[in-house]
Chain A
Amino acid sequence: MKLVTESRFANPDAAYERLVDAHRGLDERESRALDARLVLILANHIGDLELLEEAIRIAQRTGAPPGGG
């Protein structure tokens, strides 16, 4: 199996909005902690180490500092 990077949500804007809303009212630390829990939950849902490796590679490759591009 290959990591899917095609769009899968029927309504990507709504999914995006939900991710923003989940952080409303949280400070920086709480926000990072929420994201961490989310990553663990979603990684477990994927449940495949190879796919996880691939996701990490894409995230690392695109992770130039903000404003640099």
Chain B
Amino acid sequence: MGANSEESRKARYQFGYRRRPEQDRAVPARHPVVIVGAGPVGLTAAIDLAQRGVPVVVLDDADRIGEGSRAICFSKHTLEIMDRLGLGERLVEKGVTWQLGKVFLGNDLVYSFDLQPEPGHKMPAFINLQQYYLESYLVERAAELDAVDLRWANRVAGVERRNDGVRVTIATPDGDYQLDAEWLVACDGARSTVRELLGLGFTGLTFEERFLIADVKMAADYPTERWFWFDPPFHSGQSALLHRQPDDVWRIDLQLGADADPEEETKPARVLPRLQRMLGERKFELEWVSIYRFDCRRLERFVHGRVIFAGDSAHQVSPFGARGANSGVEDAENLAWKLALVLFGTAPASLLDSYEIERGQAADENIAHSTRSTDFIAPRSSHARVLRDAALKLAPFAPFARRMVNSGRLSTPSAYDTPLSTPDRETFAGDARLGLAVPDAPMIGSDGRPCFLLERLSDGFEVLYVKDGAAPAPPAGVKLTVIGEDLEDASGLFAHRYDASPGAAYVLRPDRHLCARMRMFDRTEVARAVARAMGNRS
């Protein structure tokens, strides 16, 4: 996105630079993990690593969280990750929960979708929340953890790759200093400094089309739904999006065409009439406005020796589908447990190859989806436009065409096709899939209180075992939760979603992705599956 850099944003939250004693050391201090970037991705990685007992240093070139909502849609899976980090309920409480989307052609509804038609999940399908709220909550959470050392106004000025780590040169208001990191995690965004310092190519597709993005404050009675228009009466020939955020703030996207002048188009004299045509007589205040163009591109590899890229520094998508911040958070959680096991010496460094494989697949998926959506919203050729208009015209009359109308396919977690999974030997129906984050289900705890499955899971490897007589002993280091004893499946939704039967066992990775399952618990099989998921293949 062509948004302003953090430096040039007005501050929403201001933080101070603080001099660290190690800045005076003649020999650089050595840290297991240094993370570059205190955005949603960097902070998620930092908190997850810290909760796993790995101390982290986080460097950010800014001294603030800037204005502007930026990422606003956070997926169920992101919320489930945040819940594990202690922020899920706070985010849902502040955020605006929604699950319905409507697509209009002109004034006519052509298509609507419900993202979470069935109950029994702790987290909603999506919330909308300004990115600065998420970031400020993450900063507060990080401050509770002694293992996170967050350093504002610390700009990475040099990166020297070594065999056993990375030497980082950092510019501060007090001058430069150096740190040694066993692992450097670059979460420094689409214009990553670390990527640039390493001279890595970042290739893909740039869309010519420009979009106006505006945060508008107004008291409006629109429903809490995502509304998307093709060719709306108030913005002829283009597309428009309206989506609610907390605090009576509304996100509005207006497609402007390829020839729009970014400087002219951000001037109030241009912006206000456009918005007035859309909002009519309503009183509104403009909170933030930006003009952007999209790129869909990625690094060929995310792991470069001891330097690992996550989030926008590794892959960039257009915003249709909310796949930017959500996929970055998924990167962070995929990386954190693996890096922790490698640092503890429990897993070989080659486990990180699976980060490359799994998150590379996810990046390709996200890029493909967001490219298709962008191509549908802003067709790149006259033929593509004719085909797009044909699909829209047919949509009210032909169901198949509704399925082709694409205003953004919203982010869902990827099912990894990964060497960490043990292939199924038996067949399983249900929503749970090998390589996919496991579905939630409402349960009754052993204390008799209702709870959700996901909030009762540990941070490590875990076996969900469906009671069938006495509980078996799990392999060392693996937690066993007995469904029907520790947790009661009163609603039957667990059985339905996992296709559970007495004696069945489901092996979950520390990131709650399913890595093995079997109809009858077998200790040796479980141990083998866990070893495999730790990269220890025999």
Contacts and interface: CB of A to CB of B under 8 A. Distances in A.
Interface stretch (B53-61, B326-334, B392-400): B392-400
Interface in A19-40: 19-20, 23-24, 26, 28, 31
Interface of A: 4-9, 12-13, 15-17, 19-20, 23-24, 26, 28, 31, 58-59, 61-64, 66-67, 69
Interface in B358-414: 369, 372, 375-376, 379, 381-384, 386-387, 389, 391, 393-394, 396-404, 406, 409
A8 B400 contact: yes
Interface residues of B, number: 32
Nearest to A66: B389
Contact of B383 (A7, A31, A63, A69): A31
Given A13-B372, A17-B375, A63-B393, A24 B381 contact: yes
Most A CB within 10 A of own CB, among B382, B384, B391, B396: B384
Nearest to B394: A62
Contacts of A9: 400, 403
Given A6-B400, A16-B376, A67-B231, 18 more contacts: A5-B398, A7-B403, A12-B404, A13-B409, A15-B404, A16-B372, A17-B375, A20-B379, A20-B381, A20-B383, A26-B383, A58-B394, A58-B397, A61-B397, A63-B393, A69-B105, A69-B108, A69-B393
A5 B398 CA distance: 5
A63 B387 CA distance: 12
Contact of B381 (A7, A19, A23, A63): A23
Contact of A13 (B236, B369, B398, B402): B369
A31 to B, nearest CB: 4
B88 interface: no
Most A CB within 10 A of own CB, among B382, B383, B391, B406: B383
A31 B386 CA distance: 11
A26 to B, nearest CB: 7
Contacts of A15: 404
